[in-house]
Structure 1
């Protein structure tokens, strides 16, 4: 019943359906498709034709997902293979999956998202401009954030806040939700990485080089809200490969941030 409701909502005129912005090259222009995909990274690949998907029931072959991840975000082949195979198996499939299957609650789609409502509170599949505005306002970035960056610690704090509000774990354990959340944050930051030195560095980062990985907030806002690559804002395909080991290291770093924040909060409560 819930899936039917969301499908009806997606069929209505949507304020984000207008095509805005170009693509990274002539073969990958931006064309928005509201398919109810819970993953911003996959949605952007569909909207730029790295993945050619016309409706939510169409199967995405696992090998095509691997190729798209390498071509669009410069994932290493090892990471792309692991990402695609593990995700497909998690959905109970072997050779591929549909967006409809990806959106099944409790497998990969999860609560405590920064950009989508929890399953029992609203549309858990499409991005909510309202939630995204709240996200960047809570990070102190404001609406016009051209000269600001968001860091791993910023997202670690926000995810910890969202996960602390959860009270139902029938479909997924708290640890599983936390693991998925850390994975998506670390991939999102690397896909929108703000280089702070070198000829291709955006001259907008306000964080110093010792503050760790960061992404431009206007890139992240566009990527989250419109599910596209913000090339006209200066986004480029990551120069350095996004690797499995590098992502796992970032996930460990994010977990450490969250543990420190939890200890600090606990200490304040008892002080």
Structure 2
């Protein structure tokens, strides 16, 4: 009579283990470890979801990292990593390889200075991070504050302008920041969420960007539902629309 209950008990136990799962331990990069311009990829390496040395990364490893570390669809690891490797003419890449124009490195970054012949700007600039946080008058970053941040950093890079690819990458990154650091779960795009109501606590964002660490002690949690490719466009579009509104208001 007990046998039919076993699958239920097993499923309950599996859920309990999953809910108790914590982020892998963080370890700072060493002097010979490779790191690049993407704070999240660096973070995944620091937590051991990617090889800690940041070298010889495959598309499969990237897919596993975003899935296991963030519960983001494997698409967001496989496709970009395959594109990176193809661009470098090899089957793997090092994180520092990404600091080349036309990959993911671009001007007007929220966290890094523009690359120059004498400064590769691989590491985050504390002044830029402080300015990003100060763009919000509250304790949270929002669609409105991130639109103001994008507006500000693009002015800093003038007269240079973002390429169409750089523009797409820049707004994707701003959307990722809000999605990955926001309070609560990332809702499905099928529920028609309003990203303008989302809030990312400043201290959580500060710790992530300065230490490249997932700040569990500040309430950060891996999303319970897998974040899909459809969930990104609403927040990216909201930030871009808000930024366009800023420009329109200045012209009026």
TM-score band by shorter chain is 0.7 to 0.9
Q: 1:86 to 1:247 in 2, by over 3 A?
A: farther
Question: What is the TM-score of this pair, normalised by structure 1?
Answer: 0.73
The corresponding residue for 2:225 is 240
1:264 shift after superposition: 0.7
Superposed CA deviations along residues 178-207 of structure 1, whole A, max 9, x for unmatched, are 2111011111221112128xxxxxxxxxxx
1:229 shift after superposition: 0.5
Q: 1:36 to 1:68 in 2, by over 3 A?
A: closer
Which runs of 5 or more structure 2 residues have no equivalent in the other structure? 1-20, 186-193
Give the alignment of 1:113-124 within 5 angstroms.
113-120=109-116, 122-124=119-121
Give the alignment of 1:8-27 within 5 angstroms.
25=22
1:178 aligns with 2:167: yes
The corresponding residue for 2:11 is none
Which runs of 5 or more structure 1 residues have no equivalent in the other structure? 1-23, 142-147, 197-208
Q: 1:32 to 1:71 in 2, by over 3 A?
A: same
Give the alignment of 1:1-271 within 5 angstroms.
25=22, 28-33=24-29, 35-54=34-53, 58-89=55-86, 91-93=87-89, 95-120=91-116, 122-141=119-138, 148-167=139-158, 169=160, 173-195=162-184, 211-267=196-252
Compute the RMSD of aligned alpha carbons: 2.6
**Rg (Cα) greater in structure:** 2
Superposed CA deviations along residues 127-151 of structure 1, whole A, max 9, x for unmatched, are 122221222123235xxxxxx2211
Contact 1:193–1:238 (8 Å) recurs in 2: no
Higher helix share: 2
Structure 1's consecutive aligned runs of 4 or more residues displaced over 4 angstroms after TM superposition are none
Q: 1:125 to 1:193 in 2, by over 3 A?
A: same
